[in-house]
Amino acid sequence: MVDKTKHSPAPFFLRTLILVSLGFSLPVLAAAEIVEGEQAPVSVEKLSFRGFGTLGVARSSSTQAEFVRDLSQPKGLSDGKWSARIDSILGGQVNWQLTQELGLVGQAVSRLRYNEKRSPEITWAFARWEIAPDIAVRAGRIGADFIMLADSRLVGYSYLAARPSSDFFGPLFFHHFDGADLSVSKSLGNGVVRAKVFIGATHEKTANKQDIWDTSGSRVGGVVLDYWQGPWQLRANVARIKFSNGMDVSPLPDLLKAAGTFLNAPSAFLAAQSLEGKDTISRFYSLGVVYEAKGFQAQGMANCIRHEVELLQNSCAGYALVGYRSGALTPYAGISAWKSSRRNQSTGLPATPPFANLNAIFASVMDATRSDQRTYTLGARWDVKPNVALKLQWDAIQGDSSSVFPVRNEQSGWDGRTNVISVVSDFVF
């Protein structure tokens, strides 16, 4: 059965944008009626609409695993065929500057989601209040920008490459959260430093091997430090997420507990506990630097993710990307890596039937979040117009056969290696 939403996202998208616009108009009009007499009324010139999108096709050389943009996608490139599945995106944004200090922002995006559909979602819906020239507060649905450049991951035109590094941004399937942040900016030396704290809750879902992982209600919080000086931007951040739900790996925990009871083996109970992700905390640490001057562009970032639940392997990732613009053409090259560390947890059950099968299943589940790969990137960007860019990119992924977390639906024979060719057109309007 064909899913029509995949072939006609525009009507759904426009409907969502209309709802967003109406949702913002009502409070703005109500606020205008209670503004003090000496203040000027809100001008319609302060209402603006912007759109963005990517029309992209890509092909992976491997037929043993599906390459995905990030882990929010349930399916990727398959069968060695060209597909527009992973990169094609359509989005729109409404900005209403109510007063000089108060603004409202709404954004809706149609993209491939956890349920294999492209139903538009509200990615941003917040109010921004500039309390003072150097202090600002946002509240509502906010982009998850605790990793550098993460809040614009879906705006392909803002990226030099065809897509954000899959090795670096791949495990960060959180695109937004509901909550608030407070930022304070101050001059420091010849530059500006900004400190930001944020708190809220996620409401996103992703697909794993067995089921949908619903992280709705998971509490998030963290601190971000930025520094700008001339062509340089530096960022350091710490963030944490307390998961409201764990990944569903049933009936494995119950089977381990039953075996532990039968054999009086405490290690089997510990193994079952290592699979329980509810109320566990994951922490994210990252550093980033961006440099842009005289046509030269360079980005470098590194992160480490630490999980309390042993079902998720701890990992570190990093990437570097450089490009040089000459006229309308910008060739670029990059390298990235994503590597996790295996846990030492075992069931402690005997290696004899029927426990041997249970041991094998447990080991397979624990290795399902294994990543060990490097990616070499070459590409070129052609800025056809001030608001349109064409990109051609080649990614050579060289990984271990055990590196199954970064891909989907891996088959026997997957060796961790594939070449991905991408042709995309990014635009803003």
Contact 174, 155 (CB under 8 A): no
Q: What angle do CA 407, 408, 411 make, to 5 degrees?
A: 100
Query: Is residue 212 a contact partner of residue 115, using CB atoms and an 8 Å limit?
Result: yes
Whole-number Å distance between alpha carbons of 140 and 127: 7
Q: Pick the residue with more confidence: 6 or 375?
A: 375
Could you name the CATH architecture of 4-33+45-428? Beta Barrel (2.40)
**Does the pLDDT at position 301 exceed 60?**
yes
Sorted by sequence, the CB contacts under 8 Å of residue 363 that are 6+ apart come out as none
With contact defined as beta carbons under 8 Å apart, do 137 and 181 qualify?
A: yes
Task: Evaluate whether 307 touches 290 at the Cβ level (below 8 Å).
Answer: no
pLDDT of residue 149: 80
* Domain edges within the chain: 4-33+45-428
The predicted model scores a pTM of: 0.85
**Is the model's pLDDT at 139 over the cut of 80?**
yes
Handedness of CA 58, 60, 64, 65 (dihedral sign): negative
Range 293-315 average pLDDT? 96
pLDDT interval class at 3 (50, 70, 90): very low
| Average pLDDT over every residue of 365-388 | 96
Question: How many CA within 13 A on the CB side of residue 188?
Answer: 13
Q: How confident is the model at residue 209 (pLDDT cuts 50, 70, 90)?
A: low
pLDDT given for residue 46 in this prediction: 87
What would the pLDDT profile of 238-286 be if each residue is shown by its tens digit? 999 999 999 989 999 999 999 999 999 999 999 999 999 999 999 999 9
pLDDT value, residue 206: 85
CB 13 within 8 A of CB 120: yes
**In the Cβ-directed half-sphere of 311, how many Cα atoms lie within 13 Å?**
21
Low-confidence winner among 17-31, 297-311, 353-367, 395-409 (lowest mean pLDDT): 17-31
Give just the sign of the alpha carbon dihedral 345, 350, 355, 357. Answer: positive
Beta bridge partners of 305: 284, 315
Using CA of residue 418, residue 206, residue 424, residue 288, what is the dihedral sign?
negative
Kindly tell me if the per-residue pLDDT of 28 is higher than 50.
no
Out of 179-188, 190-199, 202-211, which region has the weakest mean confidence (pLDDT)? 202-211
pLDDT recorded at residue 150 = 80
Q: Are strands 372-385 and 388-399 parallel, antiparallel or unpaired?
A: antiparallel
52-90 pLDDT, tens digit per residue, is: 999 999 999 999 999 999 999 999 998 889 999 999 999
> Does pLDDT of 391 surpass 70?
yes
How confident is the model at residue 151, as a pLDDT?
78
CB 109 within 8 A of CB 68: no
* CA separation for the pair 213, 166 (Å, rounded): 20
Whether 44 shows a pLDDT value over 50: the answer reads: no
User: Average per-residue pLDDT in the chain?
Assistant: 88
Question: What share of the chain in percent tops pLDDT 90?
Answer: 79
Is the pLDDT reported for residue 146 higher than 80? no
Residue type present at position 300: G
Cα(397)–Cα(287) distance, integer angstroms: 23
